Chains A and B, each alone.
Chain A
Amino acid sequence: MDDPRQAILDYVRREYLEEDDDREVDVETPLISGGIVDSFSMVSLKRFLEKKYEIQIPDADASPEAFDTVDRIAELVKRFQGV
């Protein structure tokens, strides 16, 4: 199973940072608590993951904590890929 972290990281940088935003974002950067992705935007990020990885993430699992870093999101993806 491929490591999804790079693809998620690329997507976050492309979609959630303005073009002139020079903040460093890596796999451990807090996305939700760090204000890069808000709880409303999480919906489009979840939709991206579901389409790209052909998975279904139940709303109960899509918590701000579970989406707070690329690392955690990748864990979530792997968990549902394995279902």
Chain B
Amino acid sequence: MTNIGSYEERLKDFDWSISEQELGYEPGGRINIGWYCTDWNCQKGLGDKMAFFWEDSQGNEKQYTFDDLRVVTNGIAKYLQELGVQPGERVCLFLDRVPELYLGFLGILKMGAVAQPLFSAFGEESLFQRVQPAETCVIFTQRKHVAKVRKILDKLPKLRHILVVDADPDKLREKEIAFDLEGLPRVEEFEAFPSEAETPSVLHYTSGTTGQPKGAQHVHYSLISQYLTAKWVLDLKPDDIYWCNADPGWVTGTSYGIIGPWVNGITQAVLDSGFNTERWYQFIQKRRITVWYSAPTAIRLLMKEGTEVVRKFDLSSLRHLCSVGEPLNAEAVHWSQEAYGLPFHDTYWQTETGSMVITNFPGMPIKAGSMGKAFPGITATVLDPRTFEPITQNGTVGLIALKPGWPSQFRTYFKQPEVYQSKFKNGWYVCGDRASIDPDGYFWFQGRDDDVINTGGHLVGPFEIESALLEHPAVAESAAIGKPDPVNMEVVKAFVALKPGLEVDDDLELEIMNFIRKRLSSLAMPQEIEFVDKLPKTRSGKIMRRLLRAQEWGEPLGDVSSLEDD
């Protein structure tokens, strides 16, 4: 029996108060995510239960019970208080998937500050674009990444401390402090910050078509959605061992790599390692993983390795598989059925939604290639792109939109309320993706409705790449688009016009690729650069990215009347 039971029955009388009651939360009362993921489990008698198995690629291992989580996160919260961090201030986690990331996240929330996780593979420019506008006061990082913080330190006047979790005390520089999790006192008594429903909790930066990344601000009440979606969609049960592949630098890694499993009192396992097929299967076998939340890019990489390698391992513990990040193609669903005897269940949501909104539920017939159906309590539709009225005809493609008001909805873009307002049309939150709905209510993804590039399940803004390209001394003008890719759905392709007098040589393409990789991230690095004499522009001088994209995808060029003449 699945946790959700009958989807149709759940729809009939659904109310988010189901989640509130199970969490013992009363409207107007206190709700602190850090406390719920730790102390609440101990109060329920789960203190001795294993909460966290962690291991890395070098074979290092650590493990924590829920009581360990409680006292260690108390220690982190107290440490931050003594450091002078105030409730509401932003504390950044710029870390690989080390225990300090997971426990630090909860410690920050426990003392009332706002957790700002950032993908540790970001280069210094991407880091700056997110830490500077957030006015971040403390950054947790590690030796291998601290150089990126040092490079931008002069431009971060609000940054007071850099906590280096594996520091060599002799090599610390300005504002740097050695943070030793193992040596930190385990604190038995700590009163969690009395946060309420609308108290800010997590700040996740996300890329858009225009401008620099925007900080989607979430609040502690998001827990209501995250708890129930983890329970009903991931189908987490007391004896499960859960593995989420996502890095907490992205929203999946926090909503379902930290909050979802732990508020449900579930044991989770984390592997801090890059992709390696056999290593991953070995991890599933060793940890007896039962529920696995992965991503289409990873699944397609596993598909490339075939089913023979699957047979070398005992993966019989697996009982439920889910996927997120980009549309899961039908072939991947069929392959996982063949390889693991189980289909991957695709789930759809985004940074701004804070939790899953359209999903394939356990026990529900899967239509391979479909996004599934709206979660109970979520009113989802597709809108006519001109009128923003819901489309009533099945199979017609429109803009995916949600009725505002679900608990984990983002509350604003940090210090950009006008951009936040622009996401709402005719009383709907518009997600920025296109889909159709079939007669059975299943959603079918069609693509983005803007120029944002979805590569390996991560959104990359073309403007960020183009801005960085212009900083290269050889580049006069540039455009970045997504081009089709069999593994990552899209990868970045750049069109570059060089400055007068410069010529393309063998090394320049590689030099520009590495330039972007180091400044922004490997995700943003163009995997192809096409050197052109000039870029197509409107008569007002705006680069027509749309035209380049249509050419790349073999789509109709559309209206080109505004194209400037030669």
Contacts and interface: CB of A to CB of B under 8 A. Distances in A.
Interface of A: 15, 17-23, 30, 32-35, 37-41, 43-44, 47-48, 51, 63-65, 68
Contacts of B144: 17-18, 21, 23
Contacts of B514: 15, 44
The 8 closest A-B pairs by CB, nearest first: A40-B522, A33-B276, A18-B147, A20-B147, A41-B522, A21-B144, A32-B274, A44-B513
Nearest to A15: B514
Interface in B390-434: none
Given A40-B456, A41-B522, A51-B510, A34 B150 contact: no
Given A40-B525, A44-B514, A68 B143 contact: no
Contact of B96 (A30, A35, A47, A51): A35
Interface string B32-62: 0000000000000000000000000110000
Size band of the interface chain B makes with A = 35 or more
Contact of A35 (B273, B304, B456): B273
Nearest to B510: A47
Contacts of A65: 276-278
Contacts of A39: 274-275, 301, 456
Interface string B459-499: 00000000000000000000000000000100100000000
B20 interface: no
B10 interface: no
B507 interface: yes
Contacts of B273: 33-35
Interface in B514-539: 514, 517, 522-523, 525, 527
B279 interface: yes
B147 A40 contact: no
Contacts of B304: 63
Contacts of A51: 506-507, 510
B517 A33 contact: no
Contacts of B455: 40
A23 to B, nearest CB: 6
